[in-house]
């Protein structure tokens, strides 16, 4: 499968995963899992969100564990 075909398939799968889900964190967790499972040579996939002076990290690690962590940002 070419990279173009792979990314087209990933886009279709991502659309299907998020079609009925409206919660942002749930969508990011599902998208992390999809990318982690489908892309080669990946040991970590995640997203950083900045919200209300807090940095939230949604990711999946090399063990396949979903983790959601947050930390307060102070100046």
DSSP secondary structure of the chain:
--HHHHHHHHHHHHHHHHSS---HHHHHHHHHHHHHHHSTT-SEEEEEEEETTEEEEEEEETTS-EEEEEEE---
CA distance 5 to 11: 10
pTM: 0.77
Domain tally, the chain: 1
Residue 45 has a pLDDT of 86
The residue range of the domain holding 12 is 3-72
Partner residues linked to 38 by β-bridges: none
pLDDT tens column, 1-58: 899 999 999 999 999 999 999 998 889 888 988 998 899 888 888 888 898 888 988 8
């Amino acid at each position: 499968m070419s990279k173009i075909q792979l990314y087209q398939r990933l886009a279709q799968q991502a659309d299907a995963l998020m079609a009925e889900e409206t919660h942002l964190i749930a969508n990011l967790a599902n998208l992390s899992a999809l990318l982690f499972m489908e892309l080669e040579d990946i040991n970590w996939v995640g997203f950083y969100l900045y919200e209300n002076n807090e940095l939230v990290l949604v990711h999946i690690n090399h063990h396949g564990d979903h983790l959601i962590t947050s930390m307060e940002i102070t100046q």
